[in-house]
Amino acid sequence: MADKNRKKGGCFRAGCLTAVVAVLLLVGLGGWFVHQRSNRLPARFVLSVPLTGELDERPPDAGPFPFGKGRHLLSFEELLTILDRAKTDRRVDSVLLRIDGLGASPAKIQELRSSIAALRKSGKKVTAFLVTPEDKDYQLAVACDSIIVQKGSWMTLDGLKAELFFVADPLKKLGVSFQAAQWKKYKSAVETFTRNSASPENLEETNALLDDAWSDYLDSVSRQRRIGKDAFRKVVDSLAVLTPEKALGLHLIDRVATERELEQEYARRLNKPAAELLVGGREYLGATGGMRPQGGGDRIAVINITGMIVSDGAGGMSEGDGTDVATVKEALQTAIDDLKVKAIVLRIDSPGGDALAASTMLELLNEAKAKKPIVASMSGLAASGGYMVALAGDKIFAEPLTITGSIGVFSLKPDLSSLLEKTGIRREVLIRGRFADAETPFRAFDDASFRKFVELTGTVYEDFIAKVAKGRHMTPAQVDAVAGGRVWSGKRALEVGLIDQIGGLGDAVQEAKKLAGVKKEVKPALLYLPAQKTWLEYLLGSDTSDMVSALTAAMVRESLGQLQPLSRLPGAGIARFLLRTDAPQVLALDPVEVVIK
pLDDT tens string 549-570: 555 555 554 544 444 444 444 5
CA 536 vs CA 63, 133, 200, 531: distances in Å: 9, 39, 54, 14
Share of the chain residues as helix, strand and coil, in percent rounded to the nearest 5:
45, 20, 35
CA–chain centroid gap for 285, Å, is 20
Determine whether 372 is an active site residue: no
Mean pLDDT of 499-517: 97
pLDDT at 71: 55
Q: Is 414 within 8 Å of 168 (Cβ atoms)?
A: no
CA 501 vs CA 111, 124, 303, 465: distances in Å: 14, 28, 19, 21
Question: What burial class does residue 100 get, using C-beta atoms within 10 Å of its C-beta: 0-12 exposed, 13-18 middle, 19+ buried?
Answer: middle
Cβ-proximal residues to 511 (8 Å cutoff; 6+ apart), any chain = 375, 395, 397, 501
Model-level pTM? 0.85
Mean pLDDT of 213-225: 97
Strand, coil or helix: 526? strand
Residue of 136, 184, 187, 513 marked catalytic: 187
Strand, coil or helix: 176? coil
Confidence of residue 411 (pLDDT cuts 50, 70, 90): confident
Report d(CA 322, CA 328) in Å as an integer.
11
Question: What burial class does residue 593 get, using C-beta atoms within 10 Å of its C-beta: 0-12 exposed, 13-18 middle, 19+ buried?
Answer: middle
Nearest-CA neighbor of 291 among 547, 533, 12, 558? 533
Confidence of residue 188 (pLDDT cuts 50, 70, 90): confident
Average pLDDT, the chain: 85
pLDDT tens string 40-62: 899 999 999 999 999 999 987 65
Q: Which domains does the chain have, with CATH numbers?
A: 2-31 (no CATH), 40-162+204-287 (3.90.226.10), 299-555 (3.90.226.10)
Q: 21 versus 497: which is more confidently predicted?
A: 497
pLDDT at 182: 77
pLDDT at 12: 45
pLDDT tens string 415-443: 999 999 989 999 999 988 888 998 899 99
pLDDT higher than threshold 70 for residue 69: no
Confidence of residue 24 (pLDDT cuts 50, 70, 90): low
Mean pLDDT of 497-505: 98
Cβ-proximal residues to 452 (8 Å cutoff; 6+ apart), any chain = 435, 438
Q: Is 299 within 8 Å of 524 (Cβ atoms)?
A: yes
Confidence of residue 452 (pLDDT cuts 50, 70, 90): confident
Confidence of residue 196 (pLDDT cuts 50, 70, 90): very high
Range ranked top by mean pLDDT from 432-446, 493-507, 568-582: 493-507
Residue of 114, 384, 406, 411 marked catalytic: 384
CA torsion 237-240-245-246 (nearest 10°) is: -20
Q: 172 versus 541: which is more confidently predicted?
A: 172
CA torsion 351-356-362-368 (nearest 10°) is: -130
Report d(CA 166, CA 194) in Å as an integer.
8
Determine whether 452 is an active site residue: no
pLDDT at 431: 87
pLDDT tens string 466-482: 999 999 999 999 999 99
pLDDT at 535: 55
pLDDT tens string 125-153: 999 999 999 999 999 999 999 999 999 99
pLDDT at 5: 43
- In DSSP notation, 427-468 reads -----SSTTTTTT-TTS---HHHHHHHHHHHHHHHHHHHHHH
CA–chain centroid gap for 278, Å, is 29
pLDDT higher than threshold 70 for residue 205: yes
Q: 597 versus 360: which is more confidently predicted?
A: 360
